[in-house]
Amino acid sequence: MDTEQTPLRLSVLDQSPIAAGSTGAQALRNTIELARLADRLGYHRYWVAEHHGGPMLAGPSPEALIGPIAAATSRIRVGSGGVMLPHYSPFKVAETFSLLAGLFPERIDLALGRAAGTDPLTTFALQRDRSRAAPDDFPAQLAELLAYLEGRLPHDHPFARLAETLPGRPELPEPWLLGSSSQSAIWAGELGLPYAFADFINSDGAEIAALYRERFAAHGHAGREPRTAVAVWVICADSDEEAQRIASSGRMAFTLLRRGQLIAVPPPEEALEFLAAEGRSNPSPSSRRRTVVGAPATARAGLEEVITSYGAQEAIAVNITYSHEARLRSYELLAEAFAL
């Protein structure tokens, strides 16, 4: 399957950014407004992320946001991007997303990740049992969760009857696996799951996406095709210069984040002054962090290049801006550029 045979899907990953001087509550209201816009514009799916314990992002609970977003929209698929499974009981996640699928049939995605979504101290605070380190048993957690959803627990398994009690049956969420490394690609291919790669975290993912397809083919999942989505940092504005100005807020925030300094999203004027003082006025290419920033034609060309390199059928656009209006405009212009 390739992008020439399959119509490209364009989707949204929203991390609910908090602008300096604003509040988390306003960021969450902005998420609902952006979801309504994405629904009207023709985006395929709208995913919300999971991040904990910081001043920049207001989305620690995708399972709590998905219902309000789905209720505020009419067509778009809504889901997690993703649920960080190590924090949770697989059965609880299965119940929660079964409930959502029952309320919003054929619209709910359950994308799963292995990362903590936060720093080590906050990860520890999230643990129910703080007497020891949490086990690193993601493959077992994932297998248990999928077994609940697919009704594959052996009859003699002590939890076998629980799969029958999922509240939303017969409706089910569509599971996805998230990743930014080769290990996630191997798991997704072996399990026959659709795979979403975080290019905005690691832009060296084209070979990893190819590995996913190889593993998928090797395991012969009858009746299913590999599906790859690539999540890309995209900021679109009316001109290349304006897009770079808007993008400066995120560049400053992430520069400080790498130093362990957590801040809300700064205004572009402050960010440009900071970047100039740091000698970072001009964005430099990075093998680990790719950004697609520019006017509609520039953004489309850059995004198409990424999509082609991954052999993806879907692009998921993610960005952080100080101005909510600039973020709305970015997604409007991107939709126009791709004629959604």
- Predicted confidence at residue 112, as pLDDT, reads 98
Is 3 a member of any domain?
Answer: no
- Residues 290 and 232 sit within 8 Å (Cβ to Cβ): yes
Domain span holding position 305: 9-337
Within a domain: 169:
yes
Per-residue pLDDT reduced to its tens digit, 144-178: 999 999 999 988 899 999 999 999 999 999 999 99
Q: Is residue 1 part of a domain?
A: no
Q: What is the CATH number of the domain that holds 313?
A: 3.20.20.30
pLDDT value of residue 287: 39
Q: Name the maximum alpha-carbon separation found in the chain.
A: 65
Instruction: Give the per-residue pLDDT at 4.
Output: 43
Q: According to the model, what pLDDT value does residue 285 have?
A: 46
* Domain membership flag for residue 321: yes
Q: Is the pTM of this model over 0.85?
A: yes
End-to-end CA distance of the chain: 21
Cα 297 from Cα 302, distance rounded (Å): 9
Write down how long the chain is.
340
Helix (H) or strand (E) run with residue 218 in it = helix 206-218
**Residue 67 within any structural domain of the chain:** yes
pLDDT of amino acid 2:
41
Which residues of the chain are modeled with pLDDT < 50? 1-5, 285-288
* DSSP reduced 3-state for 236: strand
Percentage of residues in the chain having pLDDT higher than 70: 96
How high is the pLDDT of residue 289? 61
Instruction: Say what the pLDDT of residue 286 is.
Output: 46
Assigned domain for 4 exists: no
pLDDT for residue 43: 98
The answer as to whether 2 is a domain residue is no
pLDDT at position 131 is 86
| Domain count within the chain | 1
- Read off the tokens for 124: 């520890």
For residue 326, being part of any structural domain is answered with yes
Q: Are 58 and 16 in contact (CB under 8 A)?
A: yes
